[in-house]
Amino acid sequence: MFKLGDIITMKKPHACGENRWEVIRLGADIKVKCLGCGHIVMIPRAEFTKKFKKVLTQANQVKTENEEHYLKKSQLMPPNFIKRNEE
């Protein structure tokens, strides 16, 4: 469906008029960044799946030099996994 770093589109555009978003965090909530103005929004996953329309560009195919507000891979927020101490 969608992955970290993908450029997606929602059913309704952002207030700035842009309808392209970058997925920057996945978890119970999904954090997306508007590629028009750089505004960051955190949306509960259930609400996000209702508003999500389609993936425009997958993360490995994005040309970062053409995107002003696109984050580098080092700035993305991967899910935190708790490591168990083996005893």
CATH of domain 6-57: 2.30.30
pLDDT reported for residue 1: 79
Give residue-wise pLDDT tens across range 20-50: 998 988 888 999 999 888 899 999 999 999 9
Cβ within 8 Å of residue 4, ≥6 positions away = 23, 24, 25, 26, 59, 76, 78
**Domain extent listing, the chain:** 6-57
pLDDT reported for residue 78: 59
The whole-angstrom distance between residue 35's C-alpha and the CA centroid of its chain comes to: 10
Cβ within 8 Å of residue 77, ≥6 positions away = 24, 25, 31
**Strand 52-57 vs strand 29-34: parallel, antiparallel, or unpaired?**
unpaired
Torsion of the alpha carbons at 62, 65, 68 and 69, rounded to the nearest 10:
40
